[in-house]
Amino acid sequence: MVTEWLRAADRHGLAAPVALQPHYSLVHRRPYETGLGTVVAEDGLAVLPYRALGGGFLSGKYRTDADTEGRARGANVKPLLTPDGLGLLDTVEAVARDHGVAAASVALAWLRERPHVVAPLASATSVAQLDELVASAAVKLSAAELDRLTEASAALA
């Protein structure tokens, strides 16, 4: 679809898109990485992924079914409460501890290192959460940490 849009813009002398906003995160990789990512690379598009924290899951605030009760995003997060999901969360939190930052900061730092991603999009409902999002800009993950996070997310994504 995006390829058709790009080609139609070219054929008709119209402005082509320069960026896409796909759903993409450590818990939702496959649709982007096996489809749109190729188009993005071929056409040099910028990527601004939404739900960069997997609906809040990657912040670490959801670990049990009880944590999802009465929460706006609870129903969307509940399917992630599996051994693979919690294993990913353990990995994110371990890397976060090594950097002295929150889990959300690491999840955003991983996303920021993905090819063509220019700005992961995440929301905050408090100043403390906003501080975690801003702190992610200073987190520099090593190649080993990036690989560790990518591998931990493979079963989910």
In-domain check, residue 11: no
Q: What is the DSSP string of 141-155?
A: --HHHHHHHHHHHTT
Residue carrying structure tokens 């898109």 = 17
Q: What is the DSSP string of 39-74?
A: HHHHHT-EE--BSTTGGGGGGT---SHHHHTT-TTH
Sign of the dihedral defined by the CA atoms of residues 115, 128, 71, 58, in that order: positive
Residue 114 structural domain: 21-153
Instruction: Please give the pLDDT value at position 105.
Output: 96
- Tokens matching residue 109: 């730092």
In-domain check, residue 114: yes
Instruction: Please give the pLDDT value at position 73.
Output: 78
Instruction: Please give the pLDDT value at position 113.
Output: 95
Number of domains in the chain: 1
CA distances in angstroms from 42 to 9, 24, 59, 117, listed in the order given = 16, 18, 32, 14
CB 25 within 8 A of CB 56: no
Instruction: Please give the pLDDT value at position 76.
Output: 85
In-domain check, residue 7: no
In-domain check, residue 8: no
CATH number of the domain where residue 51 is located: 3.20.20.100
In-domain check, residue 71: yes
In-domain check, residue 12: no
pLDDT values of the chain reduced to their tens digit, one per residue, 157 residues: 888 999 999 999 999 999 999 999 999 998 899 989 999 999 999 999 999 999 999 999 899 888 888 887 777 889 999 999 999 999 999 999 999 999 999 999 999 999 999 999 888 888 888 888 899 999 999 999 999 999 999 988 6
In-domain check, residue 2: no
In-domain check, residue 5: no
In three-state secondary structure terms, 80 is helix
CA distances in angstroms from 144 to 95, 147, 150, 151, listed in the order given = 11, 5, 10, 10
Instruction: Please give the pLDDT value at position 46.
Output: 96
